[in-house]
């Protein structure tokens, strides 16, 4: 696919390592794997990553920002989440997801989100289980070793690396704001990739 057709130039994706998987791969993620390198690391298909990020932006653009919940137990996701929340107005939980936040109206942390995005289905499984109980869609970033149980939509990508997560949430925030007409073009997006990337 040409750079013009991608959300960011190929170089940006490669520099962030968004396509670098793990040494473990499972049959569920096989469709997204481009090849396995000689060192055993699986490489994800960049076109499929780009396509899925675009589709995710379209999906969440149907929701108001305050109806979107994003969760990351994984520390490399904390800064990207905070800035994503700041840029879009989405509800973010960098760190521990408060049990029952989606299901128990008597809690002070209760929110009525309508869609959930998780950075990693395994550490973020409690949020996924709560989302399942109330029947809201679950979107998850999945590496080559993730099993997509209880997920409605998978985004194949390196969901562990700082640069990868920074780039992912930078693109998603920009595309969401464009699709919801909060900004007119890429040039109006005031954040840089570095703003989203952990030190």
Q: What is the mean pLDDT of residues 165-183?
A: 98
User: What pTM was computed for the model?
Assistant: 0.95
The residue range of the domain holding 104 is: 3-196
Report yes or no: 70 and 101 within 8 Å, Cβ to Cβ: no
- Residue-level pLDDT at 3: 67
pLDDT > 90: percent of the chain: 90
- Residue-level pLDDT at 84: 98
Q: Quick one: angle between helices 162-179 and 78-88, nearest 10?
A: 10
Confidence of residue 25 (pLDDT cuts 50, 70, 90): confident
CA dihedral 165→170→176→181, nearest 10 degrees, is 180
What's the mean per-residue pLDDT of the chain? 95
pLDDT digits (tens, 9 = 90+) for 124-161: 999 999 999 999 999 999 999 999 889 999 999 999 99
pLDDT digits (tens, 9 = 90+) for 76-108: 999 999 999 999 999 999 999 999 999 999 999
- Is residue 47's pLDDT more than 80? yes
Q: Which of 22, 59, 16, 14 is nearest to 40 (CA)?
A: 22
According to DSSP H, which parts of the chain are helical?
Answer: 10-16, 46-60, 78-88, 125-134, 162-179, 193-196
- Is residue 11's pLDDT more than 90? yes
The total number of structural domains in the chain stands at: 1
Q: How far is the C-alpha of 199 from the C-alpha of 197, rounded, in Å?
A: 6
Burial 65-94 (b: 16+ CB within 10 A, else e): bebbbbbbbbebbbbbbebbbebbbbbbbb
Domain CATH number, residue 65: 3.40.50.10490
Q: How far is the C-alpha of 158 from the C-alpha of 83, rounded, in Å?
A: 19
- Residue-level pLDDT at 194: 97
């Amino acid at each position: 696919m040409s750079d013009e057709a991608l959300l960011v130039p190929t170089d940006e994706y490669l520099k962030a390592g968004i396509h670098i998987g793990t040494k473990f791969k499972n049959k569920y993620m096989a469709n997204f794997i481009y090849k396995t390198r000689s060192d055993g690391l699986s490489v994800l298909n960049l076109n499929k990553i780009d396509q899925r990020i675009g589709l995710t932006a379209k999906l969440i653009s149907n929701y108001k920002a305050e109806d979107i919940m994003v969760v990351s137990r994984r520390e490399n996701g904390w800064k990207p989440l905070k800035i994503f929340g700041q840029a879009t107005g989405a509800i973010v939980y960098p760190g521990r997801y408060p049990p029952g936040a989606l299901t128990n109206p008597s809690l002070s942390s209760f929110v009525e989100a309508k869609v959930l995005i998780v950075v990693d289905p395994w550490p973020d499984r409690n949020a996924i289980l709560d989302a399942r109980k109330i029947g809201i869609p679950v979107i998850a970033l999945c590496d080559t070793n993730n099993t997509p149980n209880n997920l409605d939509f998978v985004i194949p990508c390196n969901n562990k690396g700082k640069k990868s997560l920074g780039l992912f949430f930078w693109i998603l925030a920009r595309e969401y704001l464009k699709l919801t007409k909060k900004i007119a073009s890429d040039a109006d997006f005031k954040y840089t990739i570095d703003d989203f990337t952990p030190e």
